Chains A and B, each alone.
Chain A
Amino acid sequence: MIITFRLNDEDIHTRVSAPISLLDALRDELGLFGTKSACEQGECGSCSVILDGEVVCSCLVMAADVEGSEVTTVEGISGEGVHPVQTAMHEAGAVQCGFCTPGIVVTAAALFERNQHPSTDEIKEALAGNICRCTGYGAIVRAFEELARE
């Protein structure tokens, strides 16, 4: 079937050959490798994208279900430059292996879109679905606390 949706501010018409997830469609059909596959069951947040304003795990969304929707991936958040959440993480040393990082960028960008000055608890609650195995989260929290103060 052919699905039509907005992806990173562009109209997309793409053929999806099987009942695949949005994650697989992004990576395998559309060549957007920034969204990561790590647990395949919505536990780790590595595949987070913004779907019609909500952060979702793209591994849990069927590609066919985004018909008519608006999807933003890490590539859309990055654009041509560097998003403030990316700068904050870079400067705070919040990136190690980086596999969780795109998902955290997406989740944090959505958080700061709706709340420019989140408290530490609000930051943690927003990121509760994003598992990072390297940093212990300390530098991630510091990055966004700093950004929230700006």
Chain B
Amino acid sequence: MTTTIGTRVTGVAGQVGESPARPDGIEKLRGEFEYAQDLHSDRMLWGATVRSPHPYARILSVDVAPALAVGGVHAVLTANDVPGRATFGLEHPDQPVLADEVVRYWGEPVAVVAAEDDDTARRAAAAVVVEYETLEPLVDPEEADRVDEVFRRMTIRRGDQEATGAIVVEGYYEVGMQDQAPLGTEAGLAVPDGHGGVDLYATSQFVHVDQEQVVASLGLDSSQVRAHPAGIGGAFGAREDVNLHIHLCLLALHTGRPVKMVYHRSESFTGHVHRHPARLWYRHHADEEGRLVRVEARVLIDGGAYASTTAAVLANACYFAVGPYRCDSVSVDGAGTRTNNPPCGAMRGFGAVQVCFAHEAQMDRLAAALDIDPLELRRRNALASGDPIPTTGQMIETPLPTVEVIDSLLAMPMPDPSVPEDHLHLPGGSGLTTESSHVVRGVGYALGIKNLGFSEGFDDYAQARVRLADEGAVVETAAIEVGQGLVTVLAQIARTALGVSAAVVRNVDTSQIDSAGSTSASRQTQVSGGATLEAATKLRERILAEFGGDRLDDDGVWKRESLVAPMGQVTAAGLSETATFRHPPTTPPDEHGQGVVHADFAVAGHRAVVDVDPELGLVRVVRIDTAQDVGRALNPEAVRGQIEGGIMQGVGLAIMEELVLDNGVIRNPNFTDYLLPTILDAPDVEALLIEQEGSWGPFGAKGVGEPPTISSTAAIAAAIRTATGRPIERVPVRPQDIVGESAG
């Protein structure tokens, strides 16, 4: 559905296309915004979790008596205390609420405790005696693939499977396990309602799916559990899966008291899923002009111990394995393995990130083999609206400005080519580790493509309700604000559609409105934005009909030039409209991975400039220039914020962020050892927004959250290759990948 809006409403500030400040900005700046960590309730208890110290073990016994003997402890619950479904899961309920008989990953919850305060709860958790018989963990995804321990296999076959090209390049690539590392850890509060039900206020990206899982495991009626959106310190995929939600509700109902839980940082690293580490094998065939003739890929991602979203991440990785390029002969074999590594699931870019690193390295290899400029090679193969997606064969019906992205990158000015003298701007920074004479510069390019919204036949919808009240237009939704600015953009949409100046967004709980779906897959601006536009448009029409007018503004309803109903009279009528927005339907793939499996696509490109000390293996990302297909930028400043923030997570994956595993155990679950980019690591960023009409999002908007993270990593890797001549077949790039004999 394409919704068009006529002329802009005059005299109303903060409409779509402008960049009004966040409505919650001042509260956040004053430290007054209430996060899940800050919740409080009278007579509140604190919860803590007993976790497995082994990646794989049989539970021989659990003795909770020593914990119950700690003064101030009110409950210690194990698997036996879960009254309903023993397991949960975002797509497949395969993960025990509390482990029973076997633990399958390091940090898996075995028991939960409620006590008078946080410290007592944690001491009691440490007092629970669990006897384990350790088992040999399966930690090698290739071994898991061999023994068929997989959550999903994907087979994509499109076109002539015998096609070959004059030029063939092959490669093997690896992507490490990245963590979302949102600054706010998992936190929540469950409050019993006194009638056997419970209200849950917890960190989430999708309250309706949390509520369903709580209901199932507590064995309650759906009406007895209300999940409320709570203040969130970042998400990036980490909050799609249930973690403390069921535990909190269990403890609250068991004790009859409100229970709060806040994960410590080290616990957070085991309490949420991570980005899937990947191994990727590629063979590209091209003709002598560099046109892709055939792409063959094998994609192996490790899902860890439980399913989470591995099936969908694998599908995405396979669907976008070729990148934004035309190719009519494609073969992709994918597997998402089940091991005793930490569970992996959603993180910004969701499968497209891993394959982008590989397909872009392949495109550069091809360019080198053919002696063609890397961007020119991409231009010759650029995918466009009207083309089939190379993997699925789906015709692209919305704009896909791949060529415009490439041309924009080419036109953007390059930074001063000289390596800076000041140590602050050199690799290693103020550590004074290098001199500018030791530093070499490299430039690299990468493009990425990803689907927007949910795919493969998922009924992907969002509901929103709009009413006019004394405070202005009120948008009610269960869509989660994670920091991206949904509360700003939905208000902009309401102002534009209604023609009134004041608009607020209210998050309501799961009992008050239908689902808005997940704040993921770059989808909320398109889907909840679509619902808001539809509801606000219907409300305006209804108000005009009700009061016999032809125009609505801050004063009320007008007919020609006379005010027929002042605003007070309009708001007193208490009218509201609800709309449910669905994006164009998709279908599951056939057995060859073919079909209309996606609703929309976005393309972006990045040019990275890096400085490298090749003797020390140190890298500094100097600058990133980017062009991104945004459909229409509803709030250009917020779009820029998504682009800059997404690029930094791409910088992290390129050169520093990796969860290091040792036989299933995370060795660096803290911010001292898991390195995050600081302000001194931040490159200068220039972003060009490419706006083209035709997407089904409100006013033609496309989702913008994920594309910045997809190809920024690959561009940085390409730049390091250019600077050093090293193959750089793995991210994050470590000093040993740049220095020493093995890397040559």
Contact = CB atoms under 8 A, between A and B. Distances in A.
Do A and B pair up? The answer is yes
Interface of A: 18, 28, 32-41, 43-44, 46, 73-75, 78, 82, 86, 89-91, 93, 95-102, 105, 121, 124-125, 127-141
Contacts of A82: 26, 29-30
A130 B31 contact: no
Interface residues of B, number: 58
Interface of B: 19, 21-22, 24-26, 28-35, 37-38, 118-119, 181-185, 232-236, 262, 264-265, 422, 424, 430, 482-485, 637-638, 640-641, 643-649, 670-672, 676, 678-680, 682, 685
Contact of A99 (B234, B430, B485, B676): B234
Contact of A135 (B38, B185, B235, B644): B644
A135 B641 contact: yes
Contact of B648 (A95, A105, A136): A136
Contact of B483 (A46, A96, A105): A96
A97 B234 contact: yes
A100 B31 contact: no
B183 A99 contact: yes
A139 B22 CA distance: 13
A96 B32 contact: no
Contacts of B181: 133
Contact of B31 (A34, A124, A128): A34
Nearest to A39: B671
A135 B33 CA distance: 18
A33 B30 CA distance: 10
B183 to A, nearest CB: 4
A82 B26 CA distance: 8
A74 B27 CA distance: 11
B656 to A, nearest CB: 12
Given A43-B671, A137-B644, A35 B31 contact: yes
B512 to A, nearest CB: 24
Contact of B25 (A28, A90, A133): A90
A75 B31 contact: yes
Contacts of A133: 181-183, 234, 236, 645, 649, 676
30 contacts: A36-B37, A36-B183, A41-B670, A43-B671, A44-B671, A78-B30, A89-B25, A89-B29, A93-B638, A93-B640, A96-B645, A98-B24, A98-B233, A99-B182, A99-B184, A101-B28, A105-B31, A128-B678, A131-B671, A131-B678, A132-B183, A133-B182, A133-B234, A134-B641, A135-B648, A136-B645, A136-B685, A137-B644, A137-B648, A138-B685
Contacts of B264: 40
A97 B232 contact: yes
B679 A96 contact: no
B511 to A, nearest CB: 26
Contacts of A129: 678
A141 B485 CA distance: 19
A128 B424 CA distance: 11
A98 B644 contact: no
Contact of A38 (B30, B185, B646, B649): B185
A133 B671 CA distance: 12
B418 to A, nearest CB: 17
Contact of B679 (A43, A78, A127): A127
Contact of A95 (B25, B37, B424): B25
A121 B185 contact: no
